[in-house]
Chains A and B, each alone.
Chain A
Amino acid sequence: MSLPFILFFVFALIAIGGALLLILAREPIHSALSLILVMMSLAGLYLMLGAEFVAAVQIIVYAGAIMVLFVFVIMLLNAGVEERTDYSKMAKYAGIPLGILLLLDLAHWMAHSLIGKTPANGAGSANVMVSTRDLSVQLFQKYLFPFEATSILILIAILGALVLAKRDE
């Protein structure tokens, strides 16, 4: 068991544990904090995959900006303990087995579809980092148009959020 494997399993266990906590927590704020845990451990995994810039963006934008928005809305609406309803008998008897089935199926196919197809399981050596320079060249040359389109998307989202959250006169 070498160091990368140990790190991988530590991060993976933290991520899965955080996701389970998100499901099991009754208070929305606990769910939000456990989701931040998942995002942090995913940032660690991105670092292990050599994507340092993506890891930084993951922490700054996801854990920093998006989750702050969630926590802010939870505080604003004073969201308390989630109500239990008796609507979801169907979910209990059909949902849990089907959910587990979906999970196993996805894991099975993802594990098996790669065997023999991946170029030597991780091209490049273990310590190669993707340089931010290469990434930005790719982003601003090959993907320039989608990049500009996302700025319009953000603008529309800002306007939409403003219009929706505005109080009626």
Chain B
Amino acid sequence: MSVVPVSYYLVLSAILFGLGVVAFVFKRNIITILMAIELMLNAVNLAFVAFARAWGQLDGLVFVFFVIVVAAAEAAVGLAIVIRIYQNRQSLNIERVNLLKF
């Protein structure tokens, strides 16, 4: 039984990361933008696991846990900020949040 080469996983990870970047740039809803960040973190996790497999070391898997923890913390704080923005602006559109825009 042949094994799928690790580079396949890495290419998939790159594609998912690229789609995450595209979503981050194109979406106008703040919640969806946070979700795009989660998509990019997931793509990076896939690369970590694939590399851990390629070199037969466990450190990559440990890093995946740290990435997941940071993602959870980021989601909690980010969504609290989203709720705050909605209370102030009555809108989730990122274009309405332009006080710091030059």
| A and B together in one complex | yes
Q: Which residues of A contact B (CB under 8 A)?
A: 2-5, 8, 12, 15-16, 19-20, 22-23, 28, 31-32, 35, 38-39, 42, 45-46, 48-51, 53-54, 57-58, 61-62, 65-66, 69-70, 73-74, 76-77, 79, 82-85, 87-88, 91, 95-96, 99-100, 102-103, 106-107, 110-111, 114-115, 118-119, 121-124, 126, 130, 134-135, 138-139, 142-143, 146, 150, 153-154, 156-158, 160-162, 164-165
Interface SS of chain A: helix, strand, loop or mixed? helix
Does A38 contact B7, Cβ atoms closer than 8 Å? no
Does A49 contact B80, Cβ atoms closer than 8 Å? no
Contacts of B21 in A (CB 8 A): 99, 102
Could you write out 26 A-B pairs with CB less than 8 Å apart? Answer: A15-B16, A22-B32, A23-B19, A28-B32, A31-B27, A31-B29, A38-B39, A57-B68, A65-B72, A66-B71, A73-B82, A77-B31, A77-B83, A103-B18, A110-B14, A119-B56, A146-B66, A153-B70, A158-B76, A161-B77, A161-B79, A161-B80, A164-B80, A164-B81, A164-B83, A165-B83
Given contacts A51-B53, A66-B71, A85-B28, contact A19 B1 (CB under 8 A): no
A94 to B1, CA, bound (A): 45
Contacts of A39 in B (CB 8 A): 42
Contacts of A142 in B (CB 8 A): 59, 62
Does A103 contact B29, Cβ atoms closer than 8 Å? no
Q: Which residues of B contact A (CB under 8 A)?
A: 1-23, 25-29, 31-32, 34-36, 38-39, 42, 45-47, 49-50, 52-56, 58-59, 61-62, 64-66, 68-77, 79-84, 86, 91-93, 95
Contacts of B76 in A (CB 8 A): 69, 157-158, 160-161
Does B28 contact A84, Cβ atoms closer than 8 Å? yes
Contacts of B15 in A (CB 8 A): 16, 19, 103, 106-107
Of the residues B22, B59, B70, B95, contact of A85 by C-beta under 8 Å: B95
